Structure 1
Amino acid sequence: MGLSSNSGIQRQFYRQGPDYRFDEQVDFADIKSQFGLAGITVGRWVDNQEKRLAANLVFDALADLAFLLNVPPQVMGLRQSLSLAFGQGGSPLAQAHYAPASNTLALAKNAGAGALAHEWWHAFDHYIAFRLYPRHSDDSIMRSFASDLWLTERTPTAHPLNGRLQQLFATTLLSEDGQTKHDFVSRSVALDKRIGRRYFSLPTEMMARAFEATLQQDSRIKNQYLVSGTKATELAQQGGFPDVAHLTRIHTALHGYFTPLGQALSR
């Protein structure tokens, strides 16, 4: 188990997985180096004890994510383009957020737990958009996400990995025969109608929820700091995540992309 500080109270997050750190204390400099991040900033109101606790939690979560995706740890930093901010700015109500303008994944000090996988997907989705559609690298495209652009039927760069990524999008958002939208999309649209704005049905949000739910379903690793809330929450009960059968198909497509990506980067 890992420990985090929540308003001065130590809170435990269940974790089952390899001991990458051999029970050693790490710091944010270790995280930057190990996972190839562009930079890390820590809020001025994060005290030293909180820094130590958070560093271990974030290190283990990123290591678990790399393990689950079968990619080298350095992939987490997206070729040193992704920065991490801990306990700095952001909305008090937000667990975490990804800021495309600065390529920054921000974790709230007291409420960031369980959201790292979701926000990392947004960072990846944004990063890969230009690689998938490099001929459209204008400002609007650079602010877009690959999953959004996929819906516009732009022609991607021809590459086996790009084809696998498109298959992941199709598996998540389309019916099995590929002829219509998946029920997961319909449920997401229904959720938007309840809140009166478009949010849950945004392609990158549907992909992020599918991504985190697939990871939480994987029995090899359990890490509440990396991902939580995809099974027993109100959103889950309202159909905000893919069902079990759909997650099985998404899991296959997800590894159909990331496993060969990891192999290519490990050569």
Structure 2
Amino acid sequence: MRQSKYGKPNGVKKSYYRNGPSHRDGANVTFGDIVKIFGFRTAKVGAWVNQQEQQAAANLFFDALCDLMTILQVNEQVISLRGTLSIAFGSGGNKFSSAHYNQETRTIALAKNAGPGALAHEYFHAFDHFITGRFLKKSGSNDFASSLWLQRGVVVEHPLNNLLESCYQHIFLKPDSDEPSDFFKRGAQADKALGSYYYALPQEVSARAFESFVQDNPIKNQFLVKGTKQSVEAKLGIYPLGDERENINQHFNTYFCMLGKAVHNT
């Protein structure tokens, strides 16, 4: 979940910077096209989204998902999590957040006026949820792999799982240690200062690490991700910094690169 209390609503009428390759050659796409191309289970648009907003949102979603696919070096079925993931715009959100991942329905929902920039964060929630049963020997239907791994969940032996475990190790623990990482501890410190328990939730820590990795890629897309460096939240120290950020980025890059190759060969 991406909280919105620090952000101002901007919606789809705003222009979002991106420097990636053209994916549509100026043509419009629909949410139906997105479902068909990526293999999403469903796509839902809220009743309060007018036709112009829906068209703008569909184009933004499409470009962002294509950019994410390029950044991760994976194909469409990884983005749609083998057809299990749904997307929603202006529908199915959470009144306390700008964007939300619903575990029950396996849906990423972006708010009409405040959702842009959170897609990468919510995608990792979906991925973290999807991969749990493939990554750990015992899990429940609503568990996140990151959280369960931190509770000493037993990893299913597989080369890809070993790489994903390395990602979690570098996110949550100091190198060659069982002590919490500085990144993890800063989330707890932010929660203490704010009187909450949100920033130190393992699934939130890992999603922020992932969105930092995505934002650091040379391909930039502010509809996909923004705010991991200069935002109010970033100034709280809740995103990876310096060497820890570089190390996490390297491990994420290795994992998704190998995942993309494995999926391509199946």
* TM-score with structure 2 setting the length: 0.93
Match of 2:259 among 236, 258, 261: 261
SS of 2:13 mapped into structure 1: strand
Q: Residue 24 of structure 1: SS of its match in structure 2?
A: coil
Q: Distance in 2 between matches of 1:255 and 1:47?
A: 38
* Deviation per residue, 1:76-110 (Å, 9 max, x gap): 11011101111114234521100001101001111
**1:168 offset after TM fit, Å?**
0.3
Matched residue, 2:60: 57
Counterpart Cα distance in 1 of 2:205 and 2:94: 22
Whole-Å Cα distance in 2 between the matches of residues 104 and 179 of structure 1?
Answer: 34
Q: Show structure 2 runs of 5+ residues with no match.
A: 1-8
**How much does 1:234 deviate?**
1.4
Identity %: 44
Q: Give the Cα separation in 1 of the matches to 2:13 and 2:109.
A: 21
Contact 1:81–1:103 (CA<8 Å) still a contact in 2?
A: yes
3-state SS of paired residue (1:246): helix
Give the counterpart of 1:242 among 235, 240, 243. Answer: 240
- Is the 2:138–2:153 contact (alpha carbons within 8 Å) kept by the matching residues of 1? no
Q: 1:20 aligns with which of 20, 23, 39?
A: 23
Residue of structure 1 equivalent to 2:6: none
SS at match of 1:109: coil
**Separation in 2 of the partners of 1:82 and 1:91?**
18
Alpha-carbon deviation of 1:10? 2.8
Deviation sequence 1:96-134 (CA, Å, 0-9, x none): 10000110100111111100000000000000011112x
Please tell me whether the aligned partners of residues 84 and 105 of structure 1 are also in contact (alpha carbons under 8 angstroms): yes
1:178 correspondence with 2:177: yes
Which residue does 2:223 correspond to in 1?
A: 225
What secondary structure does 1:98 align onto?
Answer: strand
CA distance in 1, matches of 2:128, 2:92: 23
Residue 104 (1) aligns with residue 107 (2): yes
1:95 aligns with 2:94: no
2:14 counterpart SS class: strand
1:80 to 83, 86, 91: 83
- Structure 1 residue aligned with 2:129: 126
Give me the TM-score of the superposition, normalised by structure 1: 0.92
Of residues 6, 31, 34, the one that matches 1:31 is 34
Q: Cα gap change, 1:89/1:152 in structure 2, threshold over 3 Å: closer, same or farther? A: closer
Q: Deviations over 1:11-70 (max 9, x none)?
A: 111111010111111000111112121111111111111111000000011111111011
CA distance in 1, matches of 2:256, 2:81: 13
Match of 1:188, as an amino acid?
G
Determine the C-alpha separation between the residues in 2 that align with 1:45 and 1:64. 27
CA distance in 1, matches of 2:96, 2:197: 19
SS in structure 1 of the partner of residue 198 of structure 2: coil
Q: Distance in 1 between matches of 2:35 and 2:104?
A: 20
Partner of 1:155: 154
Judge conservation of contact 1:170–1:178 (CA < 8 Å) in 2.
no
Instruction: Decide whether the 8 Å contact of 1:34 with 1:74 is kept in 2.
Output: no
Aligned residues: 257
One-letter identity of the residue aligned with 2:234? A
